[in-house]
């Protein structure tokens, strides 16, 4: 079976992470590893003057495999159009929330094996990043003097197609530290 739809994972409870008040409840066993391989790409040492960010317009949960898919498609366009030294691309969120699924048996005799919703806490099946309204998900840093703004916008739009929820691109100058 493929992935369950997003409606199966409501944002109706606190994030399920490895931290709990009771030490016995603090450790979650068997969490599948995150598919995100890198969070910073491009030229990490150069100073840039413009930031383009993908901002969430609503509270959403984004699965780790959706973030990785957006990262791959965005970074591929940035590398092809701008070259590795002319941008910095950053994933701004981390998938901490562990999603659980109450696995149901199928096939002949499954009704005699299952207990229905009794003890339906579920087993970990993956992780998701919980993103609040107005929070940045992806950011690209570039210098405005060349045609980089158009390429960066195109790359971020391609990455946004892989992500759920209502998102928008915001362009702003980088503040000097």
Give the separation between CA 82 and CA 93, rounded to whole angstroms: 24
CATH number at residue 163: 3.90.1170.10
Domains contained in the chain, number: 1
Residue 113 included in any domain: no
Residue 51 included in any domain: yes
Range of the domain at 44: 34-101+122-177
Residue 147 included in any domain: yes
pTM: 0.84
DSSP string covering 77-109, please? HHHHHH-GGG-EEEE-----EEEEE-----STT
In this prediction, residue 153 carries a pLDDT of 93
Residue 8 included in any domain: no
Contact 92, 132 (CB under 8 A): no
Residue 139 included in any domain: yes
Give the separation between CA 73 and CA 26, rounded to whole angstroms: 36
Instruction: Inform me whether the pLDDT recorded for 80 exceeds 90.
Output: yes
Q: Tens digits of per-residue pLDDT, 107-137?
A: 776 767 777 777 777 788 888 999 999 999 9
């Amino acid at each position: 079976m493929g992935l369950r739809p997003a409606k199966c994972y409501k944002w109706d409870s606190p994030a399920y992470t490895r931290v709990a008040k009771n030490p016995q409840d603090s450790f979650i066993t068997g969490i599948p590893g995150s598919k995100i391989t890198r969070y910073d790409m491009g030229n990490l040492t150069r100073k840039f003057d413009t930031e383009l960010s993908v901002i969430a317009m609503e509270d959403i949960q984004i699965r780790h495999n959706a973030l990785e898919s957006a990262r791959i498609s965005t970074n591929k366009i940035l590398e092809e159009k701008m070259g590795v030294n002319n941008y910095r691309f950053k994933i701004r969120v981390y998938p901490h929330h562990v999603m659980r699924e109450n696995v149901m048996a199928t096939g002949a005799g499954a009704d005699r094996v299952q207990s229905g919703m009794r003890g339906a806490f579920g087993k970990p099946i993956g992780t998701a990043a919980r993103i609040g309204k107005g929070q940045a998900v992806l950011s690209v840093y570039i210098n405005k003097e060349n045609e980089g703004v158009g390429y960066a916008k195109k790359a971020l739009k391609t990455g946004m197609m892989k992500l759920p929820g209502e998102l928008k691109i915001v362009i702003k100058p980088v503040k000097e530290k």
